[in-house]
Amino acid sequence: MTDTKNLTQLGTNVEAPQSPEAAVLETVPFSRGDGPPAIVRFTCPEFTSLCPVTGQPDFAHIVIDYAPDTLLVESKSLKLFMTSFRNHGAFHEECTVMIGRRIIAATKPLWLRIGGYWYPRGGIPIDVFWQTGAPPEGAWLPDTGVAPYRGRG
């Protein structure tokens, strides 16, 4: 059974953090076992942050794939972390890479990639892709499933 005694957010009523810096990413132990590494995917199709210049909301579909080593991201803490960006003003590129780096700092995975598919503002969608290196050998990496932006056509 997974040891959850150190978790402070799961199973409790927790307020959303006011900033990504204040958010706590919690982890649980993971046993990889033999064979190729597992790939864990988190999809956040309704991600929101703020434009640092105008304060207007920016929306994205975020897809995170990672190969855990000994720690998994606890999903409620990830949800609270992602929600904390609703009050955070930063450009798309900064938000996307910040998410990836925070997960790496918390879990020290074998590998991580993140895709931020940002909805258009000013008529231009911005897609941001970042990863830690080559994917682990033998790992199954499905397509992210996010279609390129095609507007109304």
CA atoms of 64 and 29, how far apart (whole Å): 19
Catalytic-labelled residue, pool 44, 58, 65, 95: 58
Please list the residues that pair with 64 across neighbouring strands: 42, 114
Catalytic: which of 3, 34, 44, 51?
A: 51
* 51 noted as active-site residue: yes
Could you list the residues known to form a binding site, using ranges. 73-75, 92-93
- Which residue, among 69, 70, 46, 67, has the nearest Cα to 58 in the 3D structure? 46
- Whether 65 sits among the annotated catalytic residues: the reply is no
Binding site per annotation, positions for substrate: 73-75, 92-93
Yes or no: say if 15 and 87 are a contact pair by the CB < 8 Å rule: no
Which amino acids are annotated catalytic? Answer: 51, 58
